[in-house]
Structure 1
Amino acid sequence: MRGRIPYISTLALGLALGACQTAPPPQPTPPPPAVADAPPGEVDAAGTWRATATAQDKQRIRNWYSSWEAALADARAKGSGDSIDREGVLLQPMAALPNPHLPPGEYRCRTVKIGTQGASTLAYVAYDWFRCRVSAEQGLMSLTKVNGSQRPVGLIFSDNLKRQVFLGTLVLGDESMPVSYGSDRMRDMAGLVERIGDNRWRLVLPSPAYESLLDVIELVPSS
């Protein structure tokens, strides 16, 4: 992205920018076992997430496991262990199942924020359900959170047998258009799309710019 993708778009992140919300594609090799931060299988084809991501976002993806562990440890140390345990597989780092591809359609989605970047925010916050949309976008899939005060908008790229990679930006408040990917490091987002059950997925966003140490967005079809 950085220069390569105006909106995340030269490649296709010209996204659902008009409607502002959507996501997934398929393929390659399974994620590393319990080895923290092992890099995923390389993808050669043009239009891969590695050819698109900023250096900051490549590091976020590379360090996903250590970010997750740090977030869980912080939240547990501050009294949220029972809340974490109640979420089950949603917050378990190694719970991803094969075939992560997110079908197009309307979804219910909710965000769980884990760990805190400062004393003024809670170490664990679970929000109510909002609306998300997944759509086909020029050979890829786009994922958009349709409502709420913080709305990720981006594309989903193939990575391996258990995960896809999300690259996008954060839309805030009453904004109607996302900023260009790569133009504002505080708005850029990178994460993992994983399947964790029948008709149940999650978008894991390590090291977000604001508030938490890790965000996990649960996605289930609206109907």
Structure 2
Amino acid sequence: MLLTLLLLLAGSPLVHADGTLDKRISAFDKDRLARFDAIMTEALAEARAGGSAGDIKLLEDALAGTALPLAEGFDPTGDWNCRTFKAGGGVPLVAYGWFKCRISDDGSGWMLQKLTGSQRTSGLFYTLSATRLAYLGAGYYAGEEARRYGEDAKQDQAAVAERRGENRIVIMFPAPQFESKLDVLVLER
């Protein structure tokens, strides 16, 4: 169902994007996003069953709320505090500390950069609906040049992003290629 939504709504004008999602996204990432709901359910169940009480509370707080509209005067550009949660897989739940992220708009779309920490990401957002974006980015490590989506399939990232509070965006990466079943990047300011 999500894949159908991805393909039907990719061109919606609510949020800037640099092109049509279905022309850029790989078959592997289409599959990951198509399985988003099932992956998220499984990973969160593992996190809740085996994570520490403190980390579970942090994750639940990060995911709280319902998706809010992304248009209607919402401007995500600027600096954000961000933290990553890794849920499911070898370790049930890991909550990392706060780092720095930035969302910019070069006129063709919103771009995310994780600026600090050892594991980073850089990529673009695409409109899925009035309350949901797709994110296509690439992971890299501190000290390396930022990669672009499509340059190295092993580093490609696909995610679903929602605005869950006035100043909170939650980006959920189903089936990342390393370490977990679900990565959650939370941006707050």
Give aligned-pair identity as a percent. Answer: 36
Task: Give me the TM-score of the superposition, normalised by structure 2.
Answer: 0.84
Which moves more between the two structures, 178-187 or 195-204? 178-187
In 2, the alpha carbon distance for the partners of 1:105 and 1:138 equals 14
What residue in structure 2 maps to residue 105 of structure 1?
78
For 1:24-79, what per-residue CA distance to the aligned partner results, in whole angstroms no more than 9, with x for missing partners?
A: xxxxxxxxxxxx75732613649221221111111121111111011012223334
From the superposition, tell whether residues 167 and 202 of structure 1 become closer, same or farther in structure 2 (CA, over 3 Å).
same
Work out the CA distance in 1 between the residues paired with 2:136 and 2:51: 32
TM-aligned CA distance change 1:56 to 1:88, over 3 Å: same
The 8 Å contact of residues 102 and 201 in structure 1, kept in 2 or not, is answered as no
User: What is the alpha-carbon distance in structure 2 between the residues aligned to residue 124 and residue 201 of structure 1?
Assistant: 20
Change in 2 beyond 3 A, CA 1:44/1:157: closer
1:204 maps to 2:158: no
Larger helix share, 1 or 2: 2
Pair 1:135–1:38, CA change in 2 (3 A)? closer
1:130: which partner in 2? 99
Residue 216 of structure 1, CA deviation: 0.8
Question: How far off its partner does 1:102 sit?
Answer: 5.3
Deviation at 1:99, TM superposition (A): 2.4
1:190 paired residue number? 158
Q: Residue 37 and residue 74 in structure 1: after superposition, are their counterparts in 2 closer, same or farther (change >3 A)? A: farther
Question: Partners in 2 of 1:65 and 1:96 — Cα distance?
Answer: 15
Quote the residue 1:213 is aligned against.
181
Unaligned runs of 5+ in 2: 12-17
Which of 59, 67, 87 is residue 114 of structure 1 equivalent to?
Answer: 87
Checking the alignment, whether the CA contact within 8 Å between 1:206 and 1:213 is kept in structure 2 is yes
Higher relative contact order (CA 8 A, sep 6+): 1
Q: What TM-score, normalized to structure 1?
A: 0.72
Q: 1 CA distance for matches of 2:175 and 2:59?
A: 20
- 2:24 is the alignment partner of 1:52: yes
Aligned residue number for residue 19 of structure 1: none
- Cα RMSD after superposing both structures: 2.4
